[in-house]
Amino acid sequence: MDASAEEPQHGPVAAVPGAGNAGGLADQLGNFSRELQQENDFEETLALIVAAALELIPGTVGASISVVELHGRIRSHAHSGDLAALVDFLQERTGEGPCLDAIWQQRTVEVPDFRHEQRWPAFAPAAVAAGAVSMLSFQLYVEADTLGALNLYGAAPHAFDAESREIGVLVASHAAVAFADARRISNLEDALATRDVIGQAKGILMERYKVTDQQAFLTLVTASSRTHEKLRRVAERLVVTGDLPGAGPGSTPAPDAPGTGT
């Protein structure tokens, strides 16, 4: 989880024009939904969700989104500021907290006052020391591989009321669909980028050492295994620097690599 603070890149969403103004809220949620539909970039989508949460949900002074990545690792994205970044980092470090429970166990987790919280004995005191007194986390779930949570932070006890929870559920519902779509597009783009860079690396090896496509690929796999680096990183280094990881500059592939004539 990256603890550095990042400001959302999108401009603010207009504030709710008074509690109970269902028409105004409906219009703003409609605008929010349309903006999400027009945004395909994963990080920009998350930043837009956080910006909307800050403006639409009463009591929110900080917000972020936690995303489940490979091997169950959870990383925080689109921090609204230092508070959200630090508290998210503390949840990862302690291995407990509202966002983790929201992601894995419950749809919504509320903390009225961290100073009297018993559910997370390691995390709660650290959150108070960081400046978070209350918190709301909403699960962002559409399908199994798109898990995440929208995290809201309050600077006072009981910062979130019934209106906060109701609007939070609506924002999270819109956000969950956009989150899943943006994640799917991001995964597809990553897969295409990986395929392209591996193809470029194979082409370099085929030209340099007069080997076949399969032999070039096996050479990359061998280098990946020996250096314990991901195949994409090995390929990227070869494309950018001309060097094969695990060998000196300008070296030929490993002696036992296919097609090297040894």
User: How far apart are the C-alpha atoms of 25 and 15, rounded to whole Å?
Assistant: 9
| Helix, coil or strand: residue 68 | strand
CATH topology of domain 22-182: Beta-Lactamase (3.30.450)
Annotate 163-206 with DSSP letters as a single string. HHHHHHHHHHHHHHHHHHHHHHHHHHHHHHHHHHHHHHHHHHHH
Which pLDDT score is estimated for 260?
Answer: 44
Q: Are 253 and 260 in contact (CB under 8 A)?
A: yes
What is the residue extent of each domain of the chain? 22-182
Tokens of 162: 């019934």
Which pLDDT score is estimated for 60?
Answer: 96
Which pLDDT score is estimated for 116?
Answer: 96
| Helix, coil or strand: residue 127 | helix
Which pLDDT score is estimated for 20?
Answer: 46
User: How far apart are the C-alpha atoms of 27 and 218, rounded to whole Å?
Assistant: 56
At residue 148, what are phi and psi to the nearest 5 degrees? -170, 180
Annotate 13-40 with DSSP letters as a single string. PPPPSSTT-HHHHHHHHHHHHHHHHH--
Q: What is the pLDDT along the chain (262 residues), one digit of tens a residue?
A: 444 434 333 333 333 334 445 568 888 888 887 887 777 788 888 898 999 999 999 999 999 999 888 778 888 999 999 999 999 999 999 999 999 999 988 789 999 999 999 999 999 999 999 999 999 999 987 666 668 999 999 999 999 999 999 999 999 988 888 888 877 786 677 778 888 888 898 999 999 999 898 888 888 888 888 888 888 888 889 989 999 876 544 444 544 444 444 3
CA angle 184, 78, 73 (to 5 degrees): 60
